[in-house]
Amino acid sequence: MNSREKVLETAIERGRKRCLMIKSYHFYLLSIRRACEKVFDSCEVCVFGSVLTGKFTLESDVDLLIKVPNPPKSLQERAKVEAKIEELAGLPDYHPFKFHIVDEEGFKWYVEKLKRVM
């Protein structure tokens, strides 16, 4: 197998694993919630988006709405917080989870806009 074939095989395998994570996202929620509780003083973690309706694709994310008292302000701070959550939750680098970290006002906006949040 040449290097191009190896790269392709690796990409296909990562895609397969990512797809399995999307289909079984609920198995990861507890570890993500516990990681969020370690990073923030208090938090609420909710799922929204295509995984709730069953209309997800291989390219979909599992959208997580994370309500905290003081969300990170800068992109750099947000990236550090998200990396810490990923590390504490033991998520692989190909994971499908998208973190939407908001305060109470942002949470209300999402809930009103989406109408379906779990």
Residue by residue, pLDDT tens for the chain (118 residues) are 788 889 889 888 998 999 899 999 999 999 999 999 999 989 999 999 888 888 887 788 999 999 999 999 999 999 999 999 999 999 999 999 999 999 999 999 998 887 665 5
Note the Cα 75 to chain centre separation in Å.
16
- Going from the N-terminus, what domains does the chain have, and what CATH number goes with each? 3-114 (3.30.460.10)
Element at 80 (helix H, strand E): helix 75-89
Rounded Cα distance, 117 and 75, in Å: 25
Identity of the amino acid at 30: L
Residue 26 sits at the vertex; the CA angle it makes with 61 and 48, to the nearest 5 degrees, is 45
Q: Which of 73, 49, 65 is nearest to 108 (CA)?
A: 65
What is the per-residue pLDDT for 75? Answer: 96
pTM: 0.87
Q: What is the DSSP letter of 40?
A: S
